[in-house]
Amino acid sequence: MSAPPAEAALIDDEPGHEDEPRRAMDPWLFFAAVALSAMGLVMVFSASSWLGFQVHRNWQYFLLRQAGFAGVGLLMLLVISRFDYRLLRRFAPHLMFAALALLVCVLFVGQEINGARRWMRFGPLGIQPSEIAKVTLAIFLAATLARQGERVRMFRTGFLPVMTVATITMLLVLFEKDLGTTILLGALTLVMLFVAGTRASYVLAAVMIAAPLVWYQIVGVEFRRGRLEEFLSGDSYQVQQALIAVGSGGSFGLGLGNGRQKLGFLPENHTDFVLATVGEELGFAGILLVMGLMGLLVWRGFMIARAADDRFGCYLATGISALFGLQALVNMAVVLEVIPAKGITLPFLSYGGSSLLAGLAAVGILLSISRAGDPWRWSDQRSRGRRPRNRKPEPKPE
């Protein structure tokens, strides 16, 4: 007896396809992630050595911590890449619930730094739940959109449930006074909805509703309004110091370790503004190298999405790749004074355990998807955009 169409679609995507060959993981994606992480270790050490000695009496304080996170993250990447990514679809609701629980907990028991509660401390270690929520939301959205199929074009049963969960997540992050990550989560949601085939009018309506709310959060909150005024007047001290660092580096930089802005002039030069240190010490060539590696990682991610065997893999790879690309663009735009300052890290390069671990885990998921599909075999004859040729057919729900 054959299964009903809706059930057949779910069974078709369930993990455990032992008869399907597993290919080697995408080598260029792996190379880009490892190269960026290694470069991040070098730049974190160079940018933070003076601060580490001043605060902790240890030149290598931040390097040792970041190296530990990188080691654990690389192990996570390798382990996750060996698992069938379709297991994530089964546990997506549980992962989303856990991420939301962490976002709620941090509001009450989180450590307050500069008036914001974004971190939870566990002895010498700390986690930033919003970094976990980024990847978890991508997993949940991919699972939900894959299950909905053609229903994603309907407002009540497709668009509304997805936006409800995404909005709850964004509000919790906004309560942490993290508008940058809130906007990033919103952009991720709309990108994945669009790729899944939702009506463009729904996406446009969501943007039109969100725009005045975001504007109010900027002009109605004193410290954000101050950032905007500094950006418009060109008086932002932090950004000006970042531009001085990039400008003094010239084409090939002052040499690794020879930067001067890290000597207390540029705040957060090892976290949000690590790209300025890259520009100062490695020059414009170093910035191009970072952009090239990041572009390679995002490009391979989208190719993996295009070649994925099922909708879940396609949507998940698209979401993760878009997340990396958007976050990197925002960070670079802030450092180069294209947009007002935001507390957004540069993936793999900025100091921070939660960001690095979440990023490497996400790359592990991409590698797992690449092992099920074949991102090197594609051509212009493949379906343009949303449904790769080798993806299993999924019947429309009745």
State pLDDT tens for residues 117-140. Answer: 888 888 777 889 999 999 999 999
In a domain, 80, yes or no: yes
pLDDT of 121 reads: 84
Q: Give the count of domains, the chain.
A: 1
Q: CA angle at residue 358 from 259 to 137, to 5 degrees?
A: 130
pLDDT of 376 reads: 59
End-to-end CA distance of the chain: give it in Å, rounded.
18
pTM beyond 0.85, yes or no: yes
Q: What is the mean pLDDT of residues 216-236?
A: 89
- The SS3 call for residue 282 is helix
User: Is the model's pLDDT at 380 over the cut of 50?
Assistant: no
pLDDT of 146 reads: 95
pLDDT band at 280 (very low <50, low <70, confident <90, very high): very high
pLDDT of 8 reads: 38
CB-count burial class (<10 Å; 0-12, 13-18, 19+) for 209: exposed
pLDDT band at 73 (very low <50, low <70, confident <90, very high): very high
User: Is the model's pLDDT at 293 over the cut of 90?
Assistant: yes
In a domain, 156, yes or no: yes
Measured CA to CA in angstroms, residue 249 lies from 85, 164, 222, 275, 281 at distances of: 43, 46, 34, 12, 6
Q: What is the DSSP string of 53-85?
A: HHHHS-TTHHHHHHHHHHHHHHHHHHHHHHS-T
pLDDT of 171 reads: 97
In a domain, 379, yes or no: no
Give the structural domain span for 220.
Answer: 26-372
Interior/surface letters 305-324, b for 16+ CB within 10 angstroms, e for the rest = bbbbbbbbbbbbbbbbbbbb
Q: What is the mean pLDDT of residues 92-108?
A: 96
User: Is the model's pLDDT at 239 over the cut of 50?
Assistant: yes
In a domain, 219, yes or no: yes
State pLDDT tens for residues 136-164. Answer: 999 999 999 999 988 989 998 889 999 99
Nearest in space to 374 (alpha carbons), one of 385, 382, 363: 382
State pLDDT tens for residues 294-338. Answer: 999 999 999 999 999 899 999 999 999 999 999 999 999 999 999
pLDDT of 7 reads: 36
In a domain, 288, yes or no: yes
Which token pair is 211? 């725009």
User: Is the model's pLDDT at 57 over the cut of 50?
Assistant: yes
In a domain, 208, yes or no: yes
Measured CA to CA in angstroms, residue 126 lies from 45, 49, 155, 274, 298 at distances of: 20, 21, 40, 20, 28
User: Is the model's pLDDT at 397 over the cut of 80?
Assistant: no
In a domain, 231, yes or no: yes
User: Is the model's pLDDT at 6 over the cut of 70?
Assistant: no
Q: What is the mean pLDDT of residues 361-367?
A: 98
In a domain, 1, yes or no: no
Report the helix count and the strand count for the chain, using DSSP H and E. Answer: 13, 3
pLDDT of 1 reads: 40
